[in-house]
Amino acid sequence: MKYIVIPLVAVLFLSSCKQRPKESDVVEVAQPNYAKIGMIYAQETQKVLGKNLKGTIQNKGVAEAVVFCNERAYPLTDSMATRYHAQIKRVSDKTRNPMKRASATELEHINTFKKQIAAGDSIVPIIKERDGQVHFYYPIVTNALCLNCHGTPNQNITPEVMEHLSELYPEDEATGYGIDEVRGIWSIVFNTSDASK
Ligand code: HEC
C-alpha cells in the first residue's frame, strides 16, 4: 500500500503547485489591503484602552476608572497613533468629551453603521482614499461593561460614578446606551505609502 500512496501524494502536491495562478500574488502586492491595516490599528488601540480600563475597574472600581478615562484615554490613543504613524481618533455623535465630536462626514458614517447594525448586516470598514491618504472608519459598539459609565443613570451608572462624571463632563451626552449600540467610530488616517511597506 505504501508504494501507491506516496507517489499519489507527490503527484497531488506537484499538480497543486502548477495550478496556483501567479497573477493573484501580484494583485495582492499592488493593492494593499487598507481595510485590514485600519482594523489592526483600531483593534490594537482598543486592546490597550480595554486592558487598562478593565484593570483599573478591577483594582480601583468604576468611579476611579472614570478618572482613568479622563486622564489616560487620550494619551494612550495618541501613543498608538505615534507607533503606527497614523491619526487615530474615537469620535461620537453623542460625546462625553466635547473635543471628540464627529465631523459632518464622520456623522454620515456613524449613521450608516447604525442602520447596518440595526438591520443585522455584517459590518465592514468604510475606506476612502484621497491625496495619498487612507481614511478608515469603523463602529465602536457597546457591551455590558460600557454601561457602567455610558448606560442609564441610577440604573446602570451608580450615583457615585454619576457624581464623578458630572464634575468632569458638565456637557456629557454619552449616557442612556444599551448594549450593541453604536457608541461612536474609529476615525483613522494613514498614508498609502505606509500601507505598502
Ligand atoms: C469607567 C467608566 C467608563 C467605561 C466603563 C467606559 N467608558 Fe467610554 N468614556 C468614559 C470617559 C470618562 C470618557 C471621556 C474620556 C475623555 O475625556 O476623553 C469616555 C469616552 C468614550 C469615547 C470617546 C467619545 C466621547 O464621547 O468622548 C468612546 C467612543 C467611548 N468612551 C466608548 C466606550 C465603550 C465602547 C465602552 C465599553 C467597551 C466604554 N466607553 C466604557 C468612561 C467610560
Mind listing the pLDDT tens digit for each residue in 109-156? 999 999 999 999 999 999 999 999 999 999 999 999 999 999 999 999
Residue 196 pLDDT = 59
Quote the CA–CA distance of 46 and 92 in Å, as a whole number: 15
User: Nearest Cα to 124, choosing from 31, 39, 182, 41?
Assistant: 39
Cell numbers 503527484 correspond to 11
Report whether residue 182 contacts ligand 1, using a CB cutoff of 6 Å: no
Q: What is the whole-number distance in angstroms between the Cα of residue 67 and the centre of ligand 1?
A: 11
Q: Tell how far CA 12 is from the center of its chain.
A: 42
pLDDT tens figures, 32-75: 799 999 999 999 999 999 999 999 999 999 999 999 999 999 99
* pLDDT at residue 64 in the model: 95
Q: Determine whether the shortest distance from the Cβ of 97 to ligand 1 is under 6 A.
A: yes
Confidence check: pLDDT of 29 > 70: no
| Model pLDDT, residue 195 | 75
- Give yes or no for residue 142 CB within 6 A of ligand 1: yes
6 pLDDT exceeds 50?
no
**CB of 66 sitting under 6 A from ligand 1:** yes
Assess whether pLDDT exceeds 80 at residue 11. Answer: no
| Model confidence pLDDT, tens digit, residues 164-191 | 999 999 999 999 999 999 999 999 999 9
Residues with Cβ < 8 Å from 105, sequence gap 6 or more? none
